[in-house]
Amino acid sequence: MSLNSNLVNIVVFASGSGSNFKSIHQKIKEGEISGKIKIVVSNNPNSGALKYAISEGIPIFIHNKVRFHNEEKYYESLSKKLIEVNAELLVLAGFMKKIPDEIVAHFERRIINIHPSLLPKFGGKGFFGMNVHRAVIQLGEKESGASVHFVNKIYDDGPIVAQSVITVNDNESPEDLAARVLVEEHKLYPEVVKAFCENRILWENNKPIIVKGN
């Protein structure tokens, strides 16, 4: 695989509205990101992400335990689809299922996820969506934000590649905080995807670093 030639083949995984997927796709359409979304994978056949993908002519793949209830078929069906589209980067955009360990191992340093907190704080199983923002406020945190990290076999544990920090306002509701963090997510995630596609994420001592482009 060469990230310097042509467009990087991206597979997006999303379970909900897919707002981060949309922000990335918009930058691709504007020519800001040297990638192509080959397919959108979702466990939720009614997700807004799939509806958007269909409206934009992007292929979809519904992947859940209803369709592939056997554990082996569940893994093999996804693996086969990723090979079929020659996937180079997997982008998790609000995907609520754990990626099979075999795929995480195969795509080491090629799966990224966005999380609505300043990891390692408020990460791990159970910390998603409004649960995160409620916890941030309940514990009196002064700052919050968004983190993009590479995925390993543990929830929200992989190496952090970029973060965006905002101040938590006095008497702020979880809903208001969530809305402000989402704005940061929509700016941060496309920047990281762009850096990956331009081969600008370097590794030093097992830590990813984004270097500036020309």
Bond from prior residue into 120 cis (ω within 30 degrees of 0): yes
Cα(149)–Cα(156) distance, integer angstroms? 8
DSSP readout, 140-209?
T-SEEEEEEEE--SSTT-SPEEEEEEEEPPTT--HHHHHHHHHHHHHHHHHHHHHHHHTT-EEEETTEEE
Catalytic center residues: 115
Greatest alpha-carbon pair distance for the chain in Å reads: 50
Q: If we measure between CA atoms, which residue out of 91, 26, 14 comes closest to residue 56?
A: 26
Cα(212)–Cα(154) distance, integer angstroms? 29
